[in-house]
Amino acid sequence: AQSVTQLDSHVSVSEGTPVLLRCNYSSSYSPSLFWYVQHPNKGLQLLLKYTSAATLVKGINGFEAEFKKSETSFHLTKPSAHMSDAAEYFCVVSGTGRRALTFGSGTRLQVQP
Amino acid sequence: DTAVSQTPKYLVTQMGNDKSIKCEQNLGHDTMYWYKQDSKKFLKIMFSYNNKELIINETVPNRFSPKSPDKAHLNLHINSLELGDSAVYFCASSQEGYTGELFFGEGSRLTVL
């Protein structure tokens, strides 16, 4: 079975400073990993995904994530936060066979002016 | 054109009533899902259909019944609503089965009084 742990339920940064949202995963095989973003009262949107190609994955809106197998981590980063980045972020790990994706509990990113 | 659309967006009803939420996707995807997001933002898979066939049926009360008249539609019917059913229900679709990108609707917020 797979699982995912988002280490921070809430992260607050100032506009223009770096963003780091942490995610650890557990899986008995080589998983696919995703980050999704949910803006208030909206559905989720894919930011980026890792599927065993390059370990550094670039996504939309300047976000990127690095897959580190030795640390079982898939942290999300962005060099400079923008006010529009304020949202809920979900780290997600894939299942096998007919299992669906497993979502983390979410990290709420707050961006201060 | 909205890729995954759900109706209604808001639903307020009394305990014991029966209600339905409809979902349609115009992406030509084979797989559709229902997810439940609770008040703590935790997302949990409820059902998955692939080409009108039920693939995933998580531990969900029998009061919840999905129906897929064709592969572009997946509706959710809930009988005898309970207070604990209050949540945001998201419909999603994907083309690559269980490890591909999910496209989400904007959610249907159900409030049971």
Question: How close is the nearest chain A Cα to the Cα of B50, in Å?
Answer: 10
**A46:B106 CB<8 A:** no
Pairing of strands A10-14, A107-112: parallel
Question: How close is the nearest chain A Cα to the Cα of B75, in Å?
Answer: 17
Instruction: Give the residue from chain B lying closest to A102, CA to CA.
Output: B44
pLDDT band at B1 (very low <50, low <70, confident <90, very high): low
Q: Choosing among B9, B24, B102, which should be mutated to test the A contact, i.e. which has the most A CBs within 10 A? A: B102
pLDDT given for residue B54 in this prediction: 84
Helix ranges (DSSP H) in A1-113: none
From the list A90, A88, A85, A55, the residue with the least C-alpha distance to A72 is: A55
Q: Which of the residue ranges B40-44, B56-60, B87-91, B94-98 would you say has the lowest mean pLDDT?
A: B94-98
Helix/strand/coil for B97: coil
Q: What is the DSSP letter of B39?
A: T
Chain B residues whose CB is inside 8 A of the A46 CB are 101-102
Question: At B89, which amino acid appears?
Answer: Y
Q: Please name the helix (run of DSSP H) or strand (run of DSSP E) that holds residue A75, with its range, or none.
A: strand A73-78
pLDDT given for residue A7 in this prediction: 96
